[in-house]
Amino acid sequence: GQQVQQSPASLVLQEGENAELQCNFSTSLNSMQWFYQRPEGSLVSLFYNPSGTKQSGRLTSTTVIKERRSSLHISSSQITDSGTYLCAMSGSALGRLHFGAGTQLIVIP
């Protein structure tokens, strides 16, 4: 079965609103990483966060291992935040990442 589930599948925000993206995983965790996939397809690493909370600018990632979930909070969204947000986890020492299907975010003026 699918090991990583992301929600919501899509989200439309007005500029300035906040967003909370969820990632749930079904196996034990070695690593957790959040990526932003640009509309043209390239991937940008946002956070490597296997546990706890990390913040970078308007983005905050929180991973709670016991609850098998990670979240990405975007505050004061901007139009340029539009794109697909992917979470990926690894449950083994071999490093293989399992990706979620992504959350497609659209920010409108």
Q: Which of 88, 89, 105, 107 binds other proteins (CB under 8 A)?
A: 88
Q: How far apart are CA 93 and CA 41, in angstroms?
A: 28
Segment 5 to 64, residues that bind other proteins, using CB under 8 A:
30-31, 33, 35, 41-43, 45, 48
Within the chain, strands assigned E span 4-7, 10-14, 19-25, 31-37, 43-48, 52-56, 59-64, 69-74, 83-90, 98-99, 103-108
Q: Which stretch binds other proteins (CB under 8 A): 9-17, 57-65, 71-79, 88-96?
A: 88-96
Binding site for other proteins (CB under 8 A): 4, 30-31, 33, 35, 41-43, 45, 48, 86, 88, 90, 93-102
